[in-house]
Chain A
Amino acid sequence: MAAFASPFADLSVVDRPTVGGKGASLGEMTRAGVRVPPGFVVTTGAFERFLAGVDPEGHIRRSIEALPAGDLIAVSKAAEAARARIVSAPMPAEIGEAIVSGYAELCGAGGDQPVAVRSSATSEDSSEASFAGLQETYLWIVGADAVLHAVRDCWASLYSAESVSYRLRFKLPEEGLAMGVVIQRMVDPRCSGVMFTRSPLTGDRSVIAIESSWGLGSAVVSGVVTPDKYVINKVTGEVVKRTVSHKTVAHVPDAAAGGVREIAVPDDRRDAPCLDDAQIAELARIGKSIEAHYGCPQDIEWALAPDVDGTERLFLLQSRPETIWANKERQPAAAPKATAFAHVFDMFGGKPRT
């Protein structure tokens, strides 16, 4: 069973090849004591078993490898055919059982609970993962059948036209292609957002930037709302900048149809800050500890939501290494000199100062 579905608590970063980056990171955070909504990962092994059942001869992979990279019509036809086979194929019993029992365990005694189903790419390179369409997310999925469907939808996203084109263009092998699928209890947040443990504007590593808005974080990530912004000094803990924005819309769970819907924010909450100082401070503390845990600046998604006991708490939904500034070349601010005071000579040395 463990081969097809692994609870977060059993995972860590070393499991990336079998559960993907997102799943491994959620496991790592869970084990580090960070409050993460509980969940499990459908492993790459599950996908491979599934694919072997759907296509024992390996037709899908061979036909895709044979495609001419530039022929978009042929690519999209083949991709569509592959996706159709994946979403319509029955789930092998042993995998289905693993997922259903994992889901049941997540729900506990309270009946079916909403979950998020997300793809979890094994690729090391996050830009590759994003080009390859490996960032599928299905929110507010309720019931075992819906979960099984969403898992197959995630798997099928490996065969989106853009994903296939990308692999063809870079001549990436189809063999061994796989993904994990994260299934995680959904929280119904009062507000949520993102947090960078360095400045997204200047790359300054001594500050933490938080963005927040009402409802689900998808509103912030997709850019439909201008979020509140806070800059916190990582060393002193002071909130050095605070911008409360006019927040007109929010994403909220669509309890009836599943998924999320966009609503207008009531007038009296539009200009109100989402977080108080204690919550900002706690978020920053969490950000610092996650950065320290991974040893590099992080790009984090968070939510402020009722816990199972009804008490509102901060949850971490995702954390990944920050890549934009990490990949930039930066000149050192200064290098040591023969004497400490030689720095003063340099400053007064007539070089243009601004």
Chain B
Amino acid sequence: MSASERAFPLPSEIRDLPGTEGWEQMYPYFTRFRPEDDKVFWFYNAMHFPEPMPAFDVLTAEVPYQALGAFTTRVFSFPTTLGIDHRIVNGRIYITAYPVTDPEEIGRRLAVFQERAGYYFQNWERLYGEWKERMHALIRDLQAIHVPALPELDDIETVTSAKGIGQNHYVRESYHRTIESFSKMWHHHFEFLMLGYGAYLVFFEFCKKAFPEISDQTVARMVAGIDVFMFRPDEELKKLARLAGELKVGHKFGDGSDPTEIISALEQMGEPGKAWLAALEETRDPWFLMSTGDGFYHHHRSWNDDLSVPFSAIARYITMIEAGQSIERPTAALKAERERIIADYRALLGSDEERGAFDQMLGLCHLVFPFVEDHKFYCEHWFTTLWFTKLREFGALLARFGVIADVEDFFHLHHTEADLALQEVALAWASGGPPAGRGHWKPILKERKRIWEKLKDWSPPPALGPIPENIADPALQMLWGITSETLASWARKPSVADANELHGFAASPGVAEGVARVLKSANDIGQMRDGEILVCPVTNPSWGPVFGKIKAAVSDIGGTMSHAAIVAREYGMPAVVGTGGATKRITTGQRVRVDGNTGVVTILG
């Protein structure tokens, strides 16, 4: 097949973007495409990595794939799938899954899987309880990691408690502990996740068989949790808005006001202002540790780092309360509605036999959903936000010793390079001489940042290599929604007739028309205006607060079980996810129509 006939280019056909030559120096050797990779099908993991990777942040791919594969390939022995492999080209992460196809091997793996996965399913609630304790301990340990200040002289306690260890040792130890804790977190993350998704997948497949025309979003409504962690940060904002009303400090909040100014105004107000600020402090750990991304990039800062996101939501809630509008999330009604939907579908089944299977499968989904829904806050938000904060302490150390110009530059070092730079600082502190890193890293970092900026201009193809005849890998389906149909829709070249149409998954029903606002990065969330239609690369849980002010949401990537889809359904707001390229084809200010029933987005001009 010639290049023009193939739907997707081969890895070897990808060329450097002019001006980005040498980009591969930022990433480990094993992430480069090899000649034999041309035979494999790869797809761009835009769901987790919608931007080019800074050198340090590649750890957020390597470590999760180590952990995911450990549990699917080696711990639970999933019968038909091994793990995920990844490559980086032009700063973007492409992945593939290794299936198991030999029936004998599948049989062997199945026997092991039944024993091991069975143990987890049988003891799910107890093990999940232990998991939460382990996560809390891991978070405590991370917070307790001390980054030495390396002052002119070591602390007196080193002498009086006869530690016998100079504090520069802890540069190494603490850095390694920080990196290791991230790895442990990701192992915990995948410990239950694939089993949980397995339960979901079984129920989805059953529903599709019993009700051939049921939509994913309707199945999702039967499964989705209502009292789950991911709603909590938004609930906390509402609580703070109500408190502002009670303390009569609400007038200090204006949409778009600078949080620093609001805080200083509150401080000057005396008791009521102080009471509100005390409540804010209490909420911030952990509920403001929400990343504005999914914890895969250092620059997706948290609410704690940038209070403008939560403060603008609080301001809006205060206005709503003053206008007599309800800001309560009707959890009782949502639960009742979910129960009604379940009961109605159950009644429509053809036999008691089917109802028995339905009860078992849905029961299993409801057993696993607290983990599936809550793990993300523990792992990607709570832990990871603290982890990046801890890493910034090491960055500050390097900056103080003049090795890097700015704390944020730390994340343009690969983690092994950061290790080296830190060791050299520890060495220089001990020797009393100047670190060589001062001259070494700054020009390299300057060039990397230039390349990294330039790489953002590249439009990565959704996939590379030959399309497999049949792609039915449960891991790909569960995590990325990749099926043969998805690939077919990616491969379809847009015709002239539908030049103004984008097709995605119908994630939340309803039709809305309005002005689009394209946000390429989660950090720009503050630009959203009332009544606009959000167009973004990937819908994200921390965007919850803006959902109240937008008319509809469109994303490049995403599935119907994503938190954003669930929130959109609760707000009764149309959403189309997984359009592939909405952020490229739509520009801010265009009028668009979002049909959340059919998954079609139309550009009206």
Interface set of A (CB-CB < 8 Å, partner B): 199, 201-207, 231, 233-236, 238-242, 330, 332-337, 339-341, 343-350, 352-354
Contact = CB atoms under 8 A, between A and B. Distances in A.
B103 to A, nearest CB: 6
Nearest to B211: A206
24 contacts: A199-B212, A203-B212, A233-B215, A234-B348, A236-B341, A240-B509, A241-B598, A332-B350, A339-B122, A344-B117, A344-B121, A345-B113, A345-B114, A345-B117, A347-B198, A348-B78, A348-B79, A348-B80, A348-B198, A348-B474, A349-B106, A350-B100, A350-B103, A350-B107
Interface string B101-114: 00100110010011
A204 B214 contact: yes
B358 to A, nearest CB: 8
B481 to A, nearest CB: 15
Contacts of A353: 80, 472, 474
A295 B78 CA distance: 44
B210 interface: yes
Contact of A334 (B212, B221, B357): B357
| 10 A-B pairs closest in CB distance | A336-B356, A350-B106, A341-B121, A334-B357, A333-B210, A333-B209, A340-B360, A202-B212, A353-B472, A340-B364
B247 interface: no
Nearest to A338: B360
A82 B142 CA distance: 98
Interface stretch (B32-40, B200-208, B399-407): B200-208
Given A206-B348, A347-B205, A349-B79, A332 B353 contact: yes
B22 interface: no
A46 to B, nearest CB: 41
Contacts of B363: 340
B512 to A, nearest CB: 14
Given A206-B211, A332-B350, A344 B472 contact: no
A236 B80 CA distance: 36
A344 B195 contact: yes
Q: Of residues B79, B80, B206, B211, which shows the largest number of chain A Cβ atoms within 10 Å of its Cβ?
A: B211
A160 B206 CA distance: 49
A334 B203 CA distance: 10
B106 A240 contact: no
A350 B80 contact: yes
Contact of A235 (B103, B345, B470): B345
B356 A343 contact: no
A234 B340 CA distance: 12
Nearest to A348: B79
Contacts of B103: 350
B354 interface: yes
A343 B206 CA distance: 10
Given A233-B218, A347-B201, A207 B213 contact: yes
Contacts of B356: 335-336
Nearest to A347: B202
Contacts of B472: 352-354
A335 B350 CA distance: 11
B351 A332 contact: yes
A238 B509 contact: yes
A235 B339 CA distance: 11
Contact of A204 (B206, B212, B354, B474): B212
Contacts of B214: 204, 206
A349 to B, nearest CB: 6
Contacts of A336: 353, 356-357, 359-360
Given A202-B213, A206-B211, A235-B345, A341 B110 contact: no
B357 A231 contact: no
B213 to A, nearest CB: 4
Nearest to A349: B110
Given A202-B212, A343-B202, A346-B202, 12 more contacts: A205-B348, A206-B214, A207-B211, A233-B218, A238-B509, A330-B350, A334-B209, A336-B357, A341-B364, A345-B113, A349-B110, A350-B110
A13 to B, nearest CB: 22
B597 interface: yes
Given A344-B364, A347-B201, A348-B474, A239 B597 contact: yes
Contacts of A333: 206, 209-210, 349, 354, 357
B74 to A, nearest CB: 16
B80 A205 contact: no
A185 B364 CA distance: 55
B370 to A, nearest CB: 16
Nearest to A204: B213
A347 B199 CA distance: 10
Interface in B113-156: 113-114, 117-118, 121-122
A347 to B, nearest CB: 5
B206 A234 contact: no
A347 B364 CA distance: 14
A352 B472 CA distance: 8
Contacts of B213: 199, 201-202, 204, 206-207, 231, 240
Given A205-B348, A238-B509, A350 B354 contact: no
Given A336-B353, A340-B360, A347-B201, A205 B211 contact: yes
B116 to A, nearest CB: 11
Contacts of A347: 198, 201-202, 205, 474
Contacts of A203: 212
Nearest to B362: A340
A348 B477 CA distance: 13
Nearest to A350: B106
A341 B345 contact: no
Interface string B466-478: 0000101010000
A314 B210 CA distance: 32
B361 interface: yes
A354 B471 CA distance: 8
Contacts of A233: 215, 218
Nearest to B509: A238
Nearest to A345: B114
B344 interface: yes
Contacts of A236: 218, 221, 341, 509
A193 B361 CA distance: 39
Contacts of A240: 213, 215, 509, 597
Interface string B212-224: 1111001001000
Nearest to B215: A240
Contacts of A239: 597
Contacts of A206: 211, 213-214, 345, 348
A201 B212 CA distance: 10
A341 B117 contact: yes
Contact of B341 (A207, A235, A339): A235
Contacts of B364: 340-341, 343-344
A344 B202 contact: yes
Nearest to A202: B212
A34 B111 CA distance: 58
Contacts of B121: 339-341, 344
Contacts of A343: 202, 206, 357, 360-361, 364
A341 B200 CA distance: 11
A240 to B, nearest CB: 6
B123 to A, nearest CB: 11
B44 to A, nearest CB: 24
Nearest to B105: A350
A243 B350 CA distance: 29
A238 B358 CA distance: 23
B336 to A, nearest CB: 14
Interface in B408-447: none
Contacts of A204: 211-214
A332 B352 CA distance: 10
